[in-house]
Structure 1
């Protein structure tokens, strides 16, 4: 028997992000729309941080009453969803890049976007994309994997893994930024290593002590995290695993039965 369950109803803010809001033919044209509201919210987040974004602060920026926003966005959480999609740029084009090169470019661009707007980090942790721009990123990654023998669930899993790597690396890059040294915020890589030298001992933390003594945490001031080398190192580990998975699903090019000579 066919599954007769009805499809879940789109959340109102998601419907508006996709332009599916019913258009009224009566009365004056609304003075607001979701795009104006999210732009005002992003301007506040860029200038003052995400904590300063509220329905009242956005309304004040637009010169309207807070209640007038609720026709377009039901809560701050819905507004955050719209903000994350609105700030997303176009994903890298596939072009002539090899599959591995594209997966790297896609993940790096994802991380770069988060680093450029640090307030997006906490929103991105909230769940998978629902807006048209965010889903375009997912579509492009799936397109890069289209000619592989992987099943669709595995492709989605790769997208989730690479998105998670971009998010974790963006968080680390922002946390170790040089301007945060000397504050209550997480220290730079070099300072972190120096602090560990004061905390760990060879008896309790033998492997970590060895890493500290070898200056594994020391970073060049001009390349405080090694966004190219360190980022690529970790990502290459993931890409190696993806290529190995694809290879394991790919039939051998030579499936002929060995001849009598070779079986001898």
Structure 2
């Protein structure tokens, strides 16, 4: 799939008439549709109509819908965050938090970022920054890639829950409690755990808990390679 249009420098002309449309305007209109109605509502015709142009006008700027969606991802998710180069653990934690925030703002991006598709500099930049944080840790190339895959998978899972409910962990817990009513004797371990969790602080924090455990495991792996050379705070 061609993605040249995602990499082109979008310089504004200094002379002559301004172009009727720009890729940024197209992206903004398409993102607005997806934010309000979901990715399925996005089409070349719909976006063109919202901009006051014909469908054929958009084809002067984009080859088709796949490229439109790629442009939307670049625009909505944006450039990767700056990370702390001195501490891989802090860097990856911040990376995961920023990625989750992007998905929560634009839930349709979860669907838009799977499978073969055109890739732009922003999306590759997110990978670059995360992998750069792991340079010098002693992890192999495969392990570094797998680390990012596991972290992004955790982020995506929580974002999917957030897309279904404003407070996904709390609502899921409430659903379990309701289902257990009158049936606690059939599921004694689950009932006892739910009762205990209801009185404990720090519950309904699946994202933070899972992220911390992933980073703990990574810390152990890295420390086992060359203990004296690698930073990253030990689990407290």
Q: Write the mapping of 1:229-240 to structure 2, written as runs, cut at 5 A.
A: 229-240=205-216
1:207 aligns with 2:189: yes
Q: Indicate the residue corresponding to 2:174 in structure 1.
A: 191
**Separation of aligned partners in 1, 2:182 and 2:136:** 50
**Separation of aligned partners in 1, 2:181 and 2:172:** 15
- The answer to whether the 8 A contact 1:190-1:217 is kept is no
What RMSD in Å do the two structures reach over aligned CA positions? 3.2
Q: With a CA cutoff of 8 Å and minimum separation of 6, indicate the structure with the bigger relative contact order.
A: 2
Q: Indicate the residue corresponding to 1:99 in structure 2.
A: 88
Structure 1 or 2: more helix by fraction: 2
TM-score by structure 2 length?
A: 0.79
Structure 2: gaps spanning 5 or more residues: 11-16, 230-236
Q: Per the alignment, in what secondary structure is the counterpart of residue 73 of structure 2? A: helix
1:159 aligns with 2:152: no
Q: How many residues align?
A: 223
Deviation at 1:53, TM superposition (A): 1.5
Structure 1: gaps spanning 5 or more residues: 1-10, 22-27, 181-185, 254-264
Q: Deviations over 1:174-209 (max 9, x none)?
A: 32315x9xxxxx981343133321485543x44323
Q: Write the mapping of 1:25-64 to structure 2, written as runs, cut at 5 A.
A: 31-64=20-53
**Separation of aligned partners in 2, 1:29 and 1:111:** 37
Distance 1:206 1:125, change over 3 A: farther
Distance 1:75 1:238, change over 3 A: same
- The answer to whether the 8 A contact 1:176-1:187 is kept is no
Q: Write the mapping of 1:144-155 to structure 2, written as runs, cut at 5 A.
A: 144-155=133-144
Distance 1:42 1:219, change over 3 A: farther
**Separation of aligned partners in 1, 2:48 and 2:182:** 49
- The answer to whether the 8 A contact 1:189-1:218 is kept is no
TM-score by structure 1 length?
A: 0.72
Query: Which has the larger Rg?
Result: 1
Deviation at 1:148, TM superposition (A): 1.0
Deviation at 1:20, TM superposition (A): 7.9
